């Protein structure tokens, strides 16, 4: 979720050891989360795996919010907003990426998701008529060029079949869902609702939505009884959903949104490194150029804020 905080330019103040630690925790937690998704989609329906992820994550976030003394009682209008967060940020977004994880290398999922700020740019133009600056527009075009180049080896070869196209579409849809959720989050924050209680309630509604959706589809709520499945589930629920979130929010408060946002540039590099080691992702000069374009587009977008 996006958080309103003072925007600082990189280099405007030095990082402390704590800042570096929080930054590393955020980047590594999110960087490892993409390959952890692979352990969730082998035998269990993606929506069921995401349901159990947020059963755990919502329980922890609610307990944390109560421990920190956050106000958790809200009116109907606020709960409707929380439900929207649940649908877009904590259910649809993740479920679509889980489906994508069953098809595509995990590193490519991270690269697609890292372009969320670029998707935000075009959504702002389409939904609110917000005209992007020339730099922001150039960043968006560079980012989309990078995605195309990274998928070019598949597009040009026999690997890019209908299944791969569906996987790509799922990930793009998941990113769009995340962006819509961020817009709802910003509106919620403008109403003076704290990020922690909004996130806790959003996770609860996301869990409920997925539970109802899975039941209507006749899905079994049973899971795979293996170390790999439960290890990845606990990692995604506790580390990627709670610890990384807390680290990122703390980092936002300490160094500002501009510099904290550079985590979105770094975690795809971690994810692609893991994908190369464990999934045999094959690098080509075109794919490397594509990654450079995506990183460059993200950097330009951050500086254009």
138 within domain boundaries:
yes
Tens digit of each residue's pLDDT (9 = 90 or more) over 227-271: 999 999 999 999 998 888 778 877 777 776 666 667 777 888 899
Q: How confident is the model at residue 3 (pLDDT cuts 50, 70, 90)?
A: very low
Q: Which domain holds residue 223?
A: 17-304
Nearest to 148 by CA among 108, 121, 181: 108
- Mean per-residue pLDDT over the chain, rounded: 86
Nearest to 211 by CA among 105, 36, 52: 52
224 within domain boundaries:
yes
Give the tokens for residue 183.
């817009």
Inform me whether the pLDDT recorded for 31 exceeds 60.
yes
135 within domain boundaries:
yes
What distance in Å separates the CA atoms of residue 296 and residue 254, rounded to the nearest whole number?
Answer: 25
143 within domain boundaries:
yes
Average pLDDT over residues 169-187: 90
- The rounded radius of gyration (Å) of the Cα atoms in the chain is 19
Q: What is the DSSP annotation of 168-223? A: HHHHHHHHHHHHHHHHHHHHHHHTT--HHHHHHHHHHHHHHHHHHHHHHTT-----
What sign results for the dihedral spanned by CA atoms 193, 301, 270, 168?
positive
Tens digit of each residue's pLDDT (9 = 90 or more) over 38-88: 999 989 999 999 999 999 999 999 999 999 999 999 999 999 999 999 999
2 within domain boundaries:
no
| pTM, rounded to two decimals | 0.86
Alpha-carbon 133 to chain mean position? 25
């Amino acid at each position: 979720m996006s958080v309103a905080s003072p925007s600082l330019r990189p280099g405007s103040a030095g990082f402390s050891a704590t800042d570096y630690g929080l930054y590393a925790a955020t980047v590594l937690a999110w960087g490892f989360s993409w390959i952890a998704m692979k352990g969730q989609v082998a035998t269990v329906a993606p929506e069921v795996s995401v349901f159990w992820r947020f059963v755990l994550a919502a329980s922890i976030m609610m307990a944390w919010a109560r421990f920190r003394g956050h106000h958790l009682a809200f009116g109907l209008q606020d709960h409707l907003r929380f439900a929207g967060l649940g649908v877009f940020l904590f259910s649809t977004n993740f479920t679509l990426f889980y489906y994508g994880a069953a098809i595509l290398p995990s590193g490519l999922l991270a690269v697609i998701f890292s372009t969320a700020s670029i998707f935000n740019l075009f959504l702002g133009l389409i939904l609110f008529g917000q005209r992007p600056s020339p730099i922001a527009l150039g960043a968006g075009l560079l980012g989309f060029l990078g995605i195309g180049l990274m998928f070019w080896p598949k597009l040009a070869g026999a690997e890019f079949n209908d299944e791969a196209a569906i996987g790509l579409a799922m990930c793009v849809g998941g990113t769009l869902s995340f962006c819509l959720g961020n817009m709802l989050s910003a509106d919620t924050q403008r109403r003076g609702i704290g990020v922690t209680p909004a996130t806790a309630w959003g996770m609860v509604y996301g869990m409920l939505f997925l539970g109802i959706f899975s039941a209507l589809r006749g899905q079994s709520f049973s899971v795979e009884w293996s170390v790999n499945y439960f290890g990845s589930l606990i990692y995604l629920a506790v580390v990627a959903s709670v610890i990384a979130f807390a680290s990122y929010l703390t980092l936002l408060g300490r160094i500002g949104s501009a510099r904290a946002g550079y985590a979105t540039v770094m975690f795809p590099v971690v994810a692609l490194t893991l994908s190369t080691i464990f999934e045999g992702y094959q690098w080509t000069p075109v794919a490397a150029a594509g990654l450079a374009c995506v990183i460059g587009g993200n950097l330009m977008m951050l500086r254009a804020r």
